[in-house]
């Protein structure tokens, strides 16, 4: 489905494209304020629920022992809680069992829709990402609240118009953030001198390489996957300048702020204390941030490992990763720093086991 205001690539005049998009969506939705008010009431109830749990000292993040996950002893209630919050902590996870956890997370999604299977939940590609090393004594400003996987694209890409069709038709109650349909068709805009993610991630995630203590620059999320509908409708209200999207800019993450999204910011929730080897996961639409820290106590190290299930889009990137691994070059989504091209004894394709080869699209 292509609508007149959508763009497969970054429009030459983003502000003009935004004005055209707003005019079309307002006509399509009808009473935008009424739809937004209905959605806000639902979101406000969820925010109150989250803040009540915090006031009672109860966990907001679902916490799953890996031993139970490995044995298949995850109750329907736990699955429902993860889907409601859009995030989870998996305790005692690392190292080998990574793939089992990703399969569990991938299967929370509705994989089949409109007669198509959008991805294979039981095979994930390797997506080499970053390791963050934060030494003791570090001072960091953190990261502001945002979402990844496209910003301007959320409104202007034809594929995202299909993903969020019920939101942009005014039927927000029908929006299902766990329906995978058309998500694997999304291709973020290419913007000069910026990086992007070329794969579909069901969950973003990282594994703790050191213990994580409260007050030490921890990850926070807004544990409401449906909040994306609020983000999408907010710029269509009359108080937002006609050629703006609440701070969205090409090539940047989608910002969430007190100015435009105070209701959502009220639900920002820290991860609980973690031990090295625990992992945390959040739905690809979930708002997240990293708190600032002064004089870091102990190390604050994490390894970013998303859940990226096998599909045509992800397989195409996996093959690029394979080619980069052969030469020691940086993967395509990252700056061409190519640190390992001259390293002796570096990890190569020969060092991959059967699962690693399968995850790079190598026939085994």
pLDDT tens, position by position, 293-347: 999 998 899 999 899 999 999 999 999 999 999 999 999 898 889 999 999 999 9
Q: Where do the structural domains in the chain lie, given as residue ranges?
A: 14-310, 321-364
Angstrom distance (rounded) from CA 244 to CA 363: 47
Q: Given this model, what pLDDT does residue 100 score? A: 62
Q: Given this model, what pLDDT does residue 129 score? A: 85
Contact 318, 177 (CB under 8 A): no
Q: Given this model, what pLDDT does residue 103 score? A: 84
Q: Given this model, what pLDDT does residue 158 score? A: 96
Q: Given this model, what pLDDT does residue 96 score? A: 43
Beta strands in the chain (DSSP E): 63-65, 87-91, 112-113, 116-117, 120-124, 131-132, 143-147, 203-208, 219-221, 254-255, 269-270, 279-283, 288-290, 302-304, 309-310
**Tens of pLDDT along 71-117?**
899 999 999 999 999 999 999 876 544 556 778 899 999 999 989 99
Other residues' Cβ atoms within 10 Å of the Cβ of residue 204:
25
Angstrom distance (rounded) from CA 357 to CA 363: 7
Tokens of 157: 């890409």
Angstrom distance (rounded) from CA 357 to CA 360: 5
Q: Kindly report whether the global pTM for this prediction surpasses the value 0.85.
A: yes
- Is omega for the bond preceding 95 within 30 degrees of 0, making it cis? yes
Q: Given this model, what pLDDT does residue 223 score? A: 98
Whether the per-residue pLDDT at 207 is higher than 70: the answer is yes
**pLDDT band per the 50, 70, 90 thresholds, residue 134:** very high
Mean pLDDT of 139-144: 94
Tokens of 233: 């409708």
**Tens of pLDDT along 249-269?**
988 899 999 999 999 999 999
Q: Given this model, what pLDDT does residue 246 score? A: 98
Q: Given this model, what pLDDT does residue 160 score? A: 97
Mean pLDDT of 159-173: 97
Mean pLDDT of 53-72: 94
Q: Given this model, what pLDDT does residue 201 score? A: 96
Mean pLDDT of 1-7: 77
Q: Given this model, what pLDDT does residue 332 score? A: 87
Q: Given this model, what pLDDT does residue 2 score? A: 57
**Tens of pLDDT along 24-33?**
999 999 999 9
**Tens of pLDDT along 19-57?**
999 999 999 999 999 999 999 999 999 999 999 999 999
Whether the per-residue pLDDT at 197 is higher than 70: the answer is yes
Contact 253, 191 (CB under 8 A): no
Instruction: Using DSSP, state whether 362 is helix, strand or coil.
Output: coil
The CATH number given to 14-310 is 2.60.120.330
Angstrom distance (rounded) from CA 147 to CA 254: 5
Distances in Å between the Cα of 188 and the Cα atoms of 1, 8, 119 are 17, 9, 18
Q: Given this model, what pLDDT does residue 157 score? A: 96
**pLDDT band per the 50, 70, 90 thresholds, residue 364:** low
């Amino acid at each position: 489905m292509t609508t007149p205001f959508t763009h497969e690539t970054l429009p030459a005049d983003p502000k003009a494209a935004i004005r055209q998009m707003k005019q079309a969506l307002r006509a399509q939705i009808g009473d935008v304020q009424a739809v937004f008010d209905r959605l806000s009431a639902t979101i406000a109830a969820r925010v109150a629920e989250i803040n009540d749990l915090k006031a009672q000292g109860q966990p907001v993040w679902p916490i799953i022992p890996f031993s139970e996950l490995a044995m298949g002893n995850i109750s329907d209630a736990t699955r429902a809680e993860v889907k409601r919050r859009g995030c989870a902590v998996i305790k005692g996870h690392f190292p080998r069992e990574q793939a089992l956890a990703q399969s569990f997370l991938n299967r929370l999604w509705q994989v089949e829709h409109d007669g198509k299977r959008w991805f294979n939940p039981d095979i994930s590609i390797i997506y080499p990402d970053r390791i963050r090393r934060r030494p003791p004594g570090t001072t960091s400003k953190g990261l502001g609240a945002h979402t990844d996987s496209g910003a301007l694209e959320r409104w202007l890409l034809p594929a995202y118009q299909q993903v969020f069709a019920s939101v942009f038709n005014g039927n927000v109650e029908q929006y299902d953030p766990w329906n995978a349909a058309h998500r694997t068709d999304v291709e973020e805009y290419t913007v000069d001198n910026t990086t992007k993610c070329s794969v579909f991630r069901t969950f973003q995630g990282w594994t703790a390489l050191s213990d994580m203590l409260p007050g030490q620059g921890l990850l926070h999320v807004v544990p409401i996957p449906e909040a994306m509908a609020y983000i999408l409708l907010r710029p269509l209200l009359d108080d937002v300048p006609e050629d703006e999207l609440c701070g969205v800019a090409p090539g940047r993450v989608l910002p969430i702020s007190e100015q435009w999204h105070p209701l959502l910011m009220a639900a920002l929730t820290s991860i609980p204390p973690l031990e090295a080897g625990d992992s945390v996961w959040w739905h690809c639409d979930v708002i997240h941030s990293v708190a600032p820290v002064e004089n870091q106590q102990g190390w604050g190290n994490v390894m970013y490992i998303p859940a990226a299930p096998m599909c045509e889009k992800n397989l195409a990137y996996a093959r690029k990763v394979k080619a980069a691994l052969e030469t020691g070059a940086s993967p395509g989504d990252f700056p061409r720093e190519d640190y390992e091209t001259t390293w002796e004894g570096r990890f190569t394709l020969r060092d991959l086991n059967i699962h690693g080869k399968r995850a790079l699209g190598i026939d085994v």
